Amino acid sequence: MLEYSQMRIDILTLFPTMFCGALQESILKRAQQRGLLHLVIHQIRDYALDRHQMTDDLPYGGGVGMIMKPEPVFRAVRTVLGGTQAPVILLTPQGRTFTHAVAQELAQHPRLMLICGHYEGVDERVRERLIIDELSIGDYVLTGGELAAMVVVDAVARFVPGVLGAAEGAHDDSYAGGLLEGPQYTRPPVFEGRQVPEVLLSGDHARIARWKRAMALQRTLVRRPDLLEAASLSAEDEALLREFRRTLGEPDGVE
Ligand code: ADE
């Protein structure tokens, strides 16, 4: 039996029930059952000491909305970590953009802590003293960091050894090689008159691999040409791209 190291992710949130469901299905459910992934959700309010368990307050200097108070967040982080080292990451639209590469990088740590920002933001002293990294999942503003934290957990977990079965391997996926994945098909071979490309039924593995590469290049060129700059491309890939560009450039777009 292979031994896999497990990863622990602590999530600090004001809305723990948001995490029920999304993290308890499919691959993440299996990973937790198999002890590969240990997810622990903590209610920040439980760490507020005042009578009303306040977690937010008005901003100094005026302005709209409420700010997350520092004390409950500091207590939560210190109590949960208890002296253990782990990167403490804030989910915020001001963070660096979360990508495939960032997910891969975070998966190298045995433990992570994610803090879900809410309201108009967190007291700056939380940023200064507790947070090592800030992540945004895209250039839009969510109502809070919870959905973003779920996205991060899901994408990071895929890189924890053993989480994906052999059949779900991360190697061929879009982004893995810097390209988007090409079209995929399953049975039936003909559906509503539309055929699966003949090459895929040919059993000729070398031809299939060439076709898949060509389709990935074509799809990336059309949808995300920016990715081609960082992708590692062979001379054959470059030749295919020149050909696709030429075809796309033709007025009638002949196939
Ligand atoms: N909180 C609100 N919007 C967010 C975003 N785009 N990414 C991460 N956390 C957020």
The rounded distance, in Å, linking the Cα atoms of 96 and 158 is: 20
* Ligand 1 neighbourhood includes 72 CB (under 6 angstroms): no
The answer to whether 47 and 18 are in contact (CB under 8 A) is no
Helix (H, G, I), strand (E, B) or coil at 229: coil
Give the E-state strand segments of the chain in sequence order. Answer: 7-13, 37-43, 56-57, 67-68, 88-97, 111-116, 133-136, 190-191, 194-195
* Ligand 1 neighbourhood includes 216 CB (under 6 angstroms): no
255 residues of the chain, pLDDT tens digit each: 555 679 999 999 999 999 999 999 999 999 999 999 999 999 999 999 999 999 999 999 999 999 999 999 999 999 999 999 999 999 999 999 999 999 999 999 999 999 999 878 999 999 999 999 999 999 999 999 999 999 999 999 999 999 998 777 755 577 778 999 999 999 999 999 999 999 999 999 999 999 999 999 999 999 999 999 999 999 999 999 999 999 988 554 444
Please list the active-site residues. Answer: 93, 120, 158, 173
* Ligand 1 neighbourhood includes 220 CB (under 6 angstroms): no
Q: From 3.40.50.300, 1.10.1270.20, 3.40.50.1820, 3.40.50.970, which CATH number describes the 190-248 domain?
A: 1.10.1270.20
The rounded distance, in Å, linking the Cα atoms of 162 and 218 is: 32
Q: Does domain 7-157 have CATH number 3.40.1280.10?
A: yes
Taking the centre of ligand 1 as the mean of its atom positions, its distance from the CA of residue 86, in whole angstroms, is 21
pTM: 0.91
Omega within 30 of 0 (cis) for the link into 72: no
Q: What does the block give as tokens for 111?
A: 């433990």
Atom 10, ligand 1: which residue's CA is nearest? 92
Atom 5, ligand 1: which residue's CA is nearest? 93
Taking the centre of ligand 1 as the mean of its atom positions, its distance from the CA of residue 120, in whole angstroms, is 11
Where are the chain's structural domains? 7-157, 190-248
